[in-house]
Structure 1
Amino acid sequence: MKEKNRDDDEEREKMVAYVEGKIKWFKEKNPDLHIGDKQYSERTLEVVPGAEPSQDYVSRLEEEGFFSVDRVLEDNELINRLARGAQRLAEYNMPPTFLILYDEVWMLVKALTKLVQSSAAPENEFNGDVLVWVIDPNKDDAGFTPHRDRQPEDVELSFAYGKGFNFARVSPQYHTCWVALTDATPDNSCLYVIPKHADPGYMTGDLDTEDPLQRALKKKDDYQSIRAVPLQAGGAAIFSHRIIHWGSRGRKGPDVRPRISISFAYSKPSFEPNYLLRLQSPSKTFPEVLDRLHLASAQVIAYHDRFQPTIPALRDSYKIFKYFKTRYRHQYRKRLPPEDATEAEGNARDGSSGEDLIEAMVEEMLESEYLIQDDFDKMAAEEAGGDPPDEGDASDRLEATLEDLHDAIEKSTYEEDQEVQSSLISLRDAIRRSKHRRNN
């Protein structure tokens, strides 16, 4: 028992030092942003009013499934600083979702809360699903492909029936606020949506026998219902979990700047509880800095196949999430590497090689829902009229991604090229060995 306590203390001390080093790094890279500065936050919140709700927003959300706001803050100074911060993180090969470490992000969430809760169901609370994009068309970047954010088994029950602004309405129990930190246009990638009235599966659910997009776009004139949602920096789009939406691919050119944006999801706890066990509404108090760090790490892992972070970033994110995983609800944890991956790491640390550790982690990931399914994969499978991708599909997809990353890194000047290439080769070989065992 004493030996175990001693080991736990040593591990805790190492993690504290590691976390302190990470937070110091983020402060140094964005000195014009703040992390855990209560005096700054309290002083500034008094002068950062958010956009006011309106009956028109409520009507548009109910009738079309989305609406847009020209400006969420009276002054865009905070928006501009966040955009610069996300850009800097991307320049250092750091997943831009780590922008949520900074106080300014939570000031933005607080300023938006009144608007988003009054426009959808007031019972919907911020649930921790926050993402940041830096989309650069000159690097062949594009937003997410067409999808719905959630595919509940009973679609009609995923809407609440109540009153807002003195009239009956149907409001989603899950909705997203997508804020443009830079101008988002067709040139550099903006959102496109299929409005509720043009989407037969919006309220009743999608069919197993028909692709949702093909169902909504059967005739040539149906394509005229597709709506672009360009936004100026500081504007926002708010939409339900059922709206089919995607981020476009912009054009290349010296005058095309990256599109930078951030999204926050809100849900009714009975529909989808918040991810962190002790996460409180940002309208009342900001999350602790430590919670922000491991939440960002968890999101990097959960969406790694969409954002494709570098191997070092993915490895660091896993290390942080693993240590703090007990702070998450089981509904969220099952989307991430399973408990056995932790045991695999412990065994590797006791004497196995680094390659054994990587192989064990890959094996566990391929066994779990982690690489096999997410909301987007399920929709894609349903659109194709088939089952979710099997383990072979997952491993093939990951192997192809690693090959692409390896080719790109060989052409880069990234200072950790040698280490990254070594990690990629080890991961690739581990996947191939796992696939060989499965096929024999």
Structure 2
Amino acid sequence: MITPQNATDIRVWQKLNPQLSISNGEGPRADLAEIGDDCGGFDGGALSDRFWDEGYFLIRDILPVDELAKLRGGIETLVASNLSPSLIYLYDEAWNVFRRLRPLLTHFLGDRVALLPHFWAWHVDPRSNGRGWPPHRDYQGESALGDDMLISLSLWVPLSDATPENGCMHVLPRNFEKEYAAAVSSPHEVLLQDIRALPAGPGAVMGWRQDLYHWGGRASPHAAEPRISLSLEFQNAAFDPLADELLELDTPPLFLQRLALIARQFEKYRHMQSLDVNMVRWAEQVVDACARKNHL
């Protein structure tokens, strides 16, 4: 059992998922092959056209499936240990997924890309009435200036097949919403025929401007597998920070910083999904334990 006290021991997490790594700032940075628009990774022109029209993009077969399989295994181990899937961000490989996507991020956000301290991971289990997050926008303010300068962007990466049966992502395309008399503020205002389901599998990445109305579906009890996925948010650092602390894409936080940062997400997102009271209390105690250990 991982308690708030032994959670601050890096060896506990390394033993739990030995196929994954926690570098903790030691040794050289891992050299990753980035996905670029000049090597078949994505068509920047076509991507931008759809993004600025509909508010999102979905690229298939862009990430290394073998690396994603390790992360899926890591999340399954966490869940089997009654731990939140979000703790996968303790491991370097979760941050490396998004580091690989730097060319995609700079295509939309420019060279000064910063990570927002907003992230989560999901294990939407069909056996337990699993569902994704309800309809929402990641940011309530302006996500772009005009139709060609993006301020902030969310990326979402499936680690298993995400289908309508197990709760894939759904969006209200921006060009449809523009036809409404006013911006949607409640799900009942969305015309059902305007909803777009976006199934995707391992290797894909989906991105959306942070003012896009979107949600995760509810899993059928007959679905073949859970929907397992990661999400992380970014901003163009040339604009004023959208959070108190921005993170560096190429330098993930050290172990205790990661642990405390993850634990703080529980309180932040408990309104988005049902979290066990004991799990939220555990996270609060972990934040305190990290603070004490940092001051030793």
**TM-score, L = length of structure 1:** 0.58
Question: Aligned pair 1:65/2:55, yes or no?
Answer: yes
Of residues 162, 174, 179, the one that matches 2:152 is: 174
* C-alpha contact (below 8 Å) 1:124/1:173 kept by paired residues: no
Alignment root-mean-square deviation, CA: 2.8
Q: Which has the higher strand share?
A: 2
* C-alpha contact (below 8 Å) 2:24/2:255 kept by paired residues: no
Q: Secondary structure at the match of 1:94?
A: coil
Structure 1 match to 2:17: 30
- Alpha-carbon offset, residue 273 of structure 1: 3.4
CA distance in 2, matches of 1:95, 1:51: 32
CA distance in 2, matches of 1:280, 1:19: 22
Structure 1 match to 2:207: 238
Count of aligned positions = 283
Question: Aligned pair 1:249/2:218, yes or no?
Answer: yes
Of residues 230, 233, 237, the one that matches 1:265 is: 233
Q: Equivalences for 1:33-432 in 2 at 5 Å? A: 33-36=20-23, 42-43=29-30, 45-46=31-32, 48-50=33-35, 52=37, 53=42, 54-73=44-63, 75-120=64-109, 122-152=111-141, 155=142, 158-161=143-146, 169-200=147-178, 206=183, 211-217=185-191, 223-253=192-222, 256-269=224-237, 270-276=239-245, 279-283=246-250, 285-322=251-288
* C-alpha contact (below 8 Å) 1:97/1:133 kept by paired residues: yes
Q: Which has the higher helix share?
A: 1
Q: Secondary structure at the match of 2:287?
A: helix
**TM-score, L = length of structure 2:** 0.84
Deviations 1:363-414 (A, max 9, x none): xxxxxxxxxxxxxxxxxxxxxxxxxxxxxxxxxxxxxxxxxxxxxxxxxxxx
Q: Secondary structure at the match of 2:148?
A: strand
Amino acid at match of 1:181: L
In structure 2, the CA distance between the partners of 1:268 and 1:305, relative to structure 1 (3 Å rule), is same
* C-alpha contact (below 8 Å) 2:34/2:103 kept by paired residues: no
CA distance in 2, matches of 1:116, 1:178: 13
Structure 2 match to 1:368: none
CA distance in 1, matches of 2:158, 2:124: 12
Larger RCO: 1 or 2 (CA < 8 Å, sep 6+):
2
* C-alpha contact (below 8 Å) 1:129/1:275 kept by paired residues: no
CA distance in 2, matches of 1:151, 1:259: 27
Q: Percent identity of the aligned residues? A: 25
Tell me which structure has the larger Cα radius of gyration: 1
In structure 2, the gaps of 5 or more residues are 292-296
Amino acid at match of 1:319: Q
In structure 1, the gaps of 5 or more residues are 1-14, 162-168, 218-222, 326-440
